[in-house]
Structure 1
Amino acid sequence: MKKSESLFPAKVLLFGEYGILENSSGLSIPHNFYKGTLKLHYKFNKIHKNEEILSSNYKIKKYYNFLSFLKKKQILKKLNLKQLYQDIQNGLFFHSNIPQGYGLGSSGALVAAIYDKYAKNKLKKCFINENIIILKKIFSQMESFFHIKSSGIDPLICYLNLPLLIRSKTDISIIKIPKKRKGKGAIFLLNSGIPSKTSSVIKIFLEKLKNNKFKKILKEEFIIYNEKCIENFLKEDFKILLKNVKKLSTWVFYHFRPMIPKNIYEIWEEGLLNNIHYLKLCGSGGGGFILGFTPNYNISKKKLKQYTMEVLFRF
């Protein structure tokens, strides 16, 4: 396969939304149903132009300006921007089925693709912690164009295409996740039908962090629930996992309300009250996909029949 045809998957952050920005744990997995690749459209200057190509090419052009700024400031040095500019003029675009604004890392996949194609002396997809941390730092700088503040995890997942366990900013490891089973329980994606602007909801979070009381309960409650969920999932203790996800879901419902799409409030609360399923943010929230955890997927599917759902994991 040619470099220009390299495919970069979407990602799902199972646990760690917002907490990662505060140097706490996270668990992220690639989602290969959705993917993207950089392509050159050689008929770019013809009269009939595809809307997807035009839109993507324009966005990459704006992104190129940002990368040029980083390079001038000596923040980002090792990208072949001359070649990138030439390819943009020749119709470079990102051909992708990853929905934008849905929490699946559409910008992360683009960043990974740009790095893969244009980085000079790029770090290979090796699994040494030191190299992973260097890559994460590079991706954090590159993705900040899209999200104000980026952990760099999304592009890292899209680039490596392997599950990552994040313990801190300097402790990230590739792991094996439990094998999928054929049980009644499931982790699923629920489509809210509303795209999210990640930068807007991250602004809300950063404002909340200025409140010391909020910062305290984030560390003493949210981060602890989150870490227990990761531990339960990796140990395949799904019964306890559901109990801890309920605590996490309840906390998010009361403290991250602006990040929950309004059309999801009622089913979120109903799931908690009746123990049907427990919902949580998929990434930054504000719209897009919501993650669901249920002891019985068939019951949840009937309750949520008006929504598009997709199973990620059975247990």
Structure 2
Amino acid sequence: MVEVKLLEENAAILRKTAGKWMDKRLVLLTAAQFAARQERIDEREFTAVSNKIKKTGSIFSPLRTIHFPMTGLLMTKEGDPDESLEKLLLHYETLRSAGFRSSVYTYIAAFLVEGSTKPERIKEIFEEMKRYHRFLTSHEDYPAAVIMAKRPESAGDLVDSSERYYRLLNDHGFWKGNDLQFLANMLVMDGLFQKQPAESVLQAKSELEGRGLRVKSMHYPALGVIALSGKIEEAAKMAKELKDTQQLKWSKDMAITISAIFAPQAYIDSSAGLTASVQAMVQAQQAAIAATAAGVFAASSSSDS
């Protein structure tokens, strides 16, 4: 497949700049961000943007932990990466002033914030999440709160719908936890509770398992992306092919996550009639899943070294 070939080329480029301590999964995830857009990475530009990100905070800044995938997100975002970085830092400070803790997820949330998104609205939704899951809800849910804040419905209605998705999927064998909460929150981005999105998630899980792929809780957010993209069969086929490649020999769990990065792009490319807001919704989900997964992997990699 052309996508897999470009993924391998981009991964090879990134390995030159990553350094030996960079988690291989982070390299693959970042390479996929570009390959999904049919882009070959410019090594010099990537290095320049990456270094600029690392210099924006102290050595202990959470942003340094995810500088690699964040570079990919800023470079694949429309517009100038330097301007996007400035907006990221501005939105981060805005979230901090609204009471959000400093973490990698605060930066991920800041990346997803748009100019019209009010921090008070994001905070209200985050606090509503605690109504159902006081001990489960944490800084990991900041990005989901930003995504949900873009909907016009009340914070209470949005979180109520998320909880209905959470319970329905749990009744169908999904494990309780933050991964399931994030998936439920993502489904609300498509509107208030309906059975169809949940059925699509169950279909995506069944399709992947039918191809011999083991779906873990870490894959729940990716299932949401695949389900809402409408490209379930294509994503499952790609995940199977990725799993069997040499590139993922030691990171087979990444096959589903990477296929979820490609699925939304295919949805956008084949749906020219979509409104700009729907396209933005799909891209925001891609960014959230890629960056959230990267944040988890980066954190685990740092603790292991």
**Which interval holds the TM-score relative to the shorter structure?**
under 0.3
TM-score, L = length of structure 1: 0.27
Q: Which is strand-richer, 1 or 2? A: 1
Q: Which is helix-richer, 1 or 2? A: 2
Could you say which structure has the greater relative contact order, defined with CA pairs below 8 angstroms and 6 or more residues apart?
1
